[in-house]
Amino acid sequence: MDEDDLSPEASGKPARLGVLGGDGLWSVAQVLREAGAEVADLEPAPKTVAAEVAARWHYGRASVRAGLLGHPRACLQLFTAGMPKGWIWKAGSLAVDGLRPEVDPEPMDRALIEAYRLAHLAAVARLAGSVDRLILPLCRTRAMVDAAGTVFGSRPKGVILPTGVKLSEVTFTVNEMRDDLRALSEHLRAINPGLVLQVTLQPSLSDTPCDLTGLTDVPGVHHDPVFDALLLAVKNGAKGARVLAHLAQGFDIDAFGGPAAAPVESDDDKRQRRKERRKAREAGRAVQLDAKSAKVVCEDELLEAFRK
């Protein structure tokens, strides 16, 4: 199926939008929501939790509570690895999810950590089939990995790694990231053939500068530099929120704006339009006369009825 046939322009409807990751120094999903775009939330906070508490636990900062992610390998791993060896880290008698330690502000009981992880994976499994367009914020090229190549988060203070797990920092090459992006796109399209995967390059999400320009032309992956620039500008308080929401939902920038200008009328068209207006006024006066006559007849009939 041609991707153009699946576009919002073809269907006339805004795309169901998802954001995977981008929960760093600022939240891509939050900026898009404030701009007016509807961003799917497949891992919402419990209804009984106050909004300020939910924010501390990073609920609502992306379509699933996956943290920053930031590079293609972490995103691909999220869909394919599940619960890899060594993912639970110890913090005294409690535990931490080593794959996304930044989303939980404090350690928890191991059973609770496992329950949260299972709920998270269930939300991730629904994501590809629940959206038409998935925005993937990229902001870094480095990560902490173990000997098996599993990507972990940054270890919080006081946390002990499992026995046998040793982490080292690696920097992914452009070719490695391109391969990971291509594999991610293929994985998602196997689930939802109509899904559009869009990367947005946003280095300011992280405090580590990096060059991501080699990731803008990966086959099967969409990139819009106008969207990237506008997202950061709106985040920083500039105007353009409506245009940003328009682009985020898959519409083209050329389709944005008010109604098309009226066509220029020729002199013959103007004369014909005036002639039609005169006919309409004459017809309207005739209808008014008929209505008055009908009213008089009705009143006469009523008066006659009362006299009887």
Last-in-domain residue among 255, 274, 300: 255
Q: Which residues pair with 136 in a beta bridge?
A: 199
Backbone angles phi and psi of 106, in degrees to 5: -155, 155
- Assigned domain for 204 exists: yes
- Assigned domain for 132 exists: yes
Other beta carbons within 10 angstroms of residue 283's beta carbon come to 10
Q: How far apart are CA 12 and CA 253, in angstroms?
A: 15
- Assigned domain for 125 exists: yes
Confidence of residue 15 (pLDDT cuts 50, 70, 90): confident
At residue 305, does pLDDT exceed 80? no
Pick the more confident residue, 100 or 13: 100
Specify whether 15 is located in the same domain as 112. Answer: yes
Specify whether 207 is located in the same domain as 274. Answer: no
Confidence of residue 14 (pLDDT cuts 50, 70, 90): confident
- Assigned domain for 285 exists: yes
Pick the more confident residue, 277 or 160: 160
Token pair 């509807």 in the structure block, residue:
38
Other beta carbons within 10 angstroms of residue 222's beta carbon come to 19
Specify whether 102 is located in the same domain as 83. Answer: yes
- Assigned domain for 242 exists: yes
Q: How far apart are CA 102 and CA 287, in angstroms?
A: 75
What is the per-residue pLDDT across 263-274, written as a single tens digit (0 to 9) for each?
455 677 667 767
Pick the more confident residue, 23 or 301: 23
> For the chain, what's the residue count?
308
| Helices 225-235 and 28-35, packing angle to 10 deg | 80
At residue 182, does pLDDT exceed 50? yes
Confidence of residue 277 (pLDDT cuts 50, 70, 90): low
Surface-to-core class of residue 117, CB atoms within 10 Å of its CB (0-12 exposed, 13-18 middle, 19+ buried): middle
DSSP string for residues in 127-179: HHHH-SEEEEEE--SEEEE-TT--EE-PPPTT-BPPTT---EEEE--HHHHHH
Last-in-domain residue among 255, 282, 300: 255
- Assigned domain for 155 exists: yes
Least confident of 33-37, 109-113, 294-298: 294-298
What is the pTM assigned to this prediction?
A: 0.79
- Assigned domain for 129 exists: yes
Specify whether 285 is located in the same domain as 164. Answer: no
Specify whether 87 is located in the same domain as 192. Answer: yes
- Assigned domain for 260 exists: no
Backbone angles phi and psi of 94, in degrees to 5: -110, -175
Specify whether 193 is located in the same domain as 284. Answer: no
At residue 176, does pLDDT exceed 80? yes
Confidence of residue 297 (pLDDT cuts 50, 70, 90): very low
Specify whether 151 is located in the same domain as 187. Answer: yes
Tokens, residue 138: 């990229």
**How many domains is the chain partitioned into structurally?**
2
Surface-to-core class of residue 103, CB atoms within 10 Å of its CB (0-12 exposed, 13-18 middle, 19+ buried): buried
Specify whether 117 is located in the same domain as 163. Answer: yes
At residue 38, does pLDDT exceed 80? yes
Percent share of the chain, pLDDT over 90: 72
Specify whether 151 is located in the same domain as 295. Answer: no
Token pair 């009523």 in the structure block, residue:
302
Residue spans of alpha helices (H) in 37-139? 51-56, 72-80, 110-130
The boundaries of the domain holding residue 70 are: 3-255
C-alpha distances out from residue 138 to 21, 75, 130, 206, Å: 8, 10, 22, 9
What is the per-residue pLDDT across 205-253, written as a single tens digit (0 to 9) for each?
998 888 898 999 999 999 999 999 999 999 999 999 999 999 999 888 7
What is the per-residue pLDDT across 49-100, written as a single tens digit (0 to 9) for each?
999 999 999 999 999 999 999 999 999 999 999 999 999 999 999 999 999 9
Angle at CA of residue 32, ends 260 and 177, nearest 5°: 110
Specify whether 33 is located in the same domain as 130. Answer: yes
| CA-based torsion, 128, 244, 4, 255: positive or negative | positive
Q: How far apart are CA 281 and CA 245, in angstroms?
A: 46
Q: How far apart are CA 23 and CA 198, in angstroms?
A: 16
Specify whether 172 is located in the same domain as 83. Answer: yes
Specify whether 125 is located in the same domain as 207. Answer: yes
C-alpha distances out from residue 233 to 29, 37, 229, Å: 15, 16, 6
